[in-house]
Amino acid sequence: MGRWEMIGAYVALLLTCCAGVFSLSLWSVVAGALSLGLIPLVANRAASLQQVGGISEPVVVVSHVLNSSAMASAAYIFGYVARWAWGL
């Protein structure tokens, strides 16, 4: 992952976490998951496919989608718990 991809992923997770802090709708989790899922797809996929080995590209894409969904959900829940812990 390049520097700009890491910054983009960090910003997407931070915004999803802030959505949890401010109790925005769950659509923010979907938006966070989509933006996290698009980051590796926009990057050069040829380099990542060589590292994976014999696994086909659709399996890698599904893996990215599931991983980004889990990370966005965890960021939203962390923001919601942080709001509760701070007493907001």
pTM for this prediction:
0.77
Q: What is the pLDDT of residues 68-85, one digit of tens each?
A: 888 899 999 999 999 989
**Residue 12 CA, distance from chain mean position:** 7
Q: What is the pLDDT of residues 43-58, one digit of tens each?
A: 655 555 555 566 677 7
**What is the rounded CA–CA span in Å between residue 29 and residue 58?**
23
Tokens 């976490």 correspond to 17
| b/e code 19-32 from CB counts within 10 Å (16+ = b) | bbbeebeeebbebb
List the chain domain ranges.
3-86
Q: Which two tokens stand for residue 22?
A: 């401010």
